[in-house]
Amino acid sequence: MRWTYCTGPTALDLLRWSYCAGPTALVLMRWTYCTGPNALDLLHWTYCTGPTALVLLHWTYCTGPNALVLLHWTYCTGPNALDLLHWTYCTGPNALVLLRWSYCAGPTALVLMRWTYCIGPTALVLMRWSYCAGPIALDLLHWSYCTGPTALDLLHWS
């Protein structure tokens, strides 16, 4: 258990905690808070038990002109099963919302959804979705829309 606190323009509060029992079991919690123009709140949490099981939560929040909220979550159990959610939101002139979600179970099965939205002169909406089951089966939808001088509307499906 490690804990740090510092005052001033770069004030920081950090908590790191780890627990391990057995051949692979692990619990890790890391939490950071910082004040000021680039204030940051980060939570990194990991739990593992068994040969491959993993749960990871990575969460970040930052205030100011480049405010950012990020959630990264992973769950894995079995030989290759995976469930991943990656979500980002940013405000300001380059505001961005991104959602990436993946699920995999079995030797090849995959479901992926990636969605992006950005406001401003280069506004973009992108949706990419894939599903794969079996050695080669694939279902892919890629859709983009962009405004401004380089406006683009694209739909790719196979």
Q: How far apart are CA 145 and CA 93, in angstroms?
A: 18
The H or E element spanning position 20 is strand 12-21
Write the DSSP assignment of 93-141 as a string of letters: TT-EEEEEEEEE-SSS-EEEEEEEEE-STT-EEEEEEEEE-SSS--EEE
For residue 80, what pLDDT band results from cuts at 50, 70 and 90?
Answer: very low
DSSP code of 80? Answer: S
Spatial distance between the Cα atoms of 62 and 33, rounded to a whole number of angstroms: 10
Mean predicted lDDT score pLDDT of the chain: 52
Q: Using the structure block, give the residue that is written with the tokens 């694939």.
A: 138
List pLDDT tens digits, range 89-106.
555 555 555 555 555 555
Across 127-146, b (16+ Cβ under 10 Å) vs e yields bbbbebeeeeeeeeeeeeeb
Residue 158's pLDDT is what?
A: 44
Tens digit of pLDDT for each residue in 124-148?
A: 555 555 555 555 454 445 555 555 5
Domain layout of the chain by residue ranges: 2-157
Alpha-carbon torsion (43, 47, 51, 53), positive or negative: negative
pLDDT tens-digit series, residues 65-74: 555 555 555 5
